[in-house]
Amino acid sequence: MNRERETGGFLKKYPGVKIGIIALILLLVVGVSSAFTVEKEVSVNFEGKVYTANGKLLESLEEVLIANELPVSDEYKYSVPLTTLFKDVIDVTIEKKISGNIQVDGKTIAYLSGGATVGDVLEENGVKPDEDDKVEPGLNTPLTEKTGTIKVTRISYVESTGIKDVPMKATIRENPELPMGTRIVVQVG
C-alpha cells in the first residue's frame, strides 16, 4: 500500500516531468503536422521559360507540376523523376521528347525518346546493332529534332570454300630485240 502512494506521488512531487512530457507531445504533433503543410518553391525550366512551382514538401513532383498547370505526360522528359518527393527537388527542366523512325531488318519502328544519342534511342527500342552493322547517323551522334529517320543496315560475312574453274589468259608481247619467232611469256595465266 505504501508503494502505491509513492508512485502516485512522483508526478505530484516533480511537476517539471509532467510539463516536459506534455511539451514533447506538443512538439511531436506540431512537427508532424507542419511536414504536411510547409510549402516550397522550385524553378521549372520549360520551353525556354522559367516558371515557379509551389508545393507541399511531402507531395510528389508529378502532383506539384499538375497543381501548377505544368505538363506531365510521356511526351516530355524530366531532369528529376516524377515520383521524387518535392522536398528533394531543387530545380526541374522539362524538355519535349524527340520522335522519328528506325528502319531495321525491313521494318519501320516509330520512336519517342528523351535519349541523348542515337545509340540511346536504339537501346530503348530493343535494336542492338553488331560491330559490323552500319548505323546512319552514327551511334554517338547527339539526338536532335533534325535526326529524323535512323537507318540500321545489317552486315554479315559468309565464308565458303569450293573449287571453281577459272579461265587462264597468258599475256604475250612482241619484243623487237628478240630473234624472229621467239616468244617470252610475260605473265602465266
Please tell me whether residues 127 and 142 are part of one structural domain: yes
Please tell me whether residues 24 and 57 are part of one structural domain: no
The C-alpha atoms of residue 81 and residue 62 are separated, in whole angstroms, by 9
The C-alpha atoms of residue 80 and residue 114 are separated, in whole angstroms, by 13
- Of 73, 70, 112, 74, residue with least CA distance to 91: 70
Query: Is 72 a residue whose pLDDT tops 90?
Result: yes
pTM above the 0.85 mark? no
At 189 the three-state DSSP class reads: coil
Query: Is 66 a residue whose pLDDT tops 60?
Result: yes
2-39 pLDDT, tens digit each: 555 555 666 677 778 888 888 889 888 887 776 666 78
Residue 69 forms part of a structural domain: yes
pLDDT for residue 11: 67
pLDDT for residue 26: 87
pLDDT for residue 67: 94
Please tell me whether residues 72 and 58 are part of one structural domain: yes
Range of the domain at 17: 2-36
Q: What is the mean pLDDT of residues 180-187?
A: 71
pLDDT for residue 36: 65
Q: Name the burial class of residue 118, with classes exposed (0-12), middle (13-18) and buried (19+) by CB atoms within 10 angstroms of its CB.
A: buried
DSSP 116: S
Q: What is the mean pLDDT of residues 86-94?
A: 93
Residue 21 forms part of a structural domain: yes
Please tell me whether residues 77 and 114 are part of one structural domain: no
CB count in 10 Å sphere of residue 159: 4
Domain boundary among 67, 96, 125: 96
The C-alpha atoms of residue 182 and residue 189 are separated, in whole angstroms, by 19
The tally of domains found in the chain comes to: 3
Which carries the bigger pLDDT value, residue 104 or residue 184? 104
Please tell me whether residues 105 and 143 are part of one structural domain: yes
Q: What is the mean pLDDT of residues 65-83?
A: 93
